[in-house]
Amino acid sequence: MTGGTEQPELHSEPRQSLRLFYALWPDDTARAALASLQTAVSGRKTPYGNLHLTLAFLGDQPIASLSTLQKILAGLSVPDMTLTMDRIGYFTKSRIAWVGMHAAPEGLFTLQRHLMSALAHQGILADTRSAFKPHVTLARDATAPDELPFEPVHWHASHVCLIASSNEQQGAQYRILASNRANPPA
């Protein structure tokens, strides 16, 4: 035995799961318009590149399930729809300021229901703690925003993505793993 203490070898374990969600992903025009609404709210603003509308939050999922999750996404019939984001609101319990719609198109609810059904059919559980409330988070740790008039954002929403989320020193980082787009109107 040599003098000194042995140090255990440090091995970084390969990641076995990813934190995942499905979302409508805005194009550059919609993203810029959504980001402009952040001036009306307090709190920790959602980074520009992270603005999205969650359809289903999956939490930590085994990496082995990625193929199935990508197939579910590819099998979705994504409607070609316009979302009129005309309402700023606030979730009191989670202290989230958001923008949403007074009247969301039925196609959005149908898309979300079909996604949830396809996930359940594969035995994959999505977060269902509350009913689907379509919104884009503008800021966290916010106070209730004043009801100020604003120009509605008309978002041509036709891009659904499977997103991996990781918490880094600089905050949440999102990475698109797969996407599915609506067929353009004929």
The catalytic site residues sit at 52, 135
CA distance 132 to 41: 23
CA distance 175 to 50: 9
Please report the DSSP string for 107-121 in residue order: HHHHHHHHHHHHHHH
CA distance 119 to 126: 7
CA 146 to chain centre: 25
Strand pairing category for 159-168 and 171-181 = antiparallel
Residue 161 β-bridge partners: 23, 179
* Cβ atoms of 115 and 107 closer than 8 Å: no
Question: Could you identify the residue written with the tokens 């949403």?
Answer: 100
Closest CA to 43 of 137, 117, 122, 141: 141
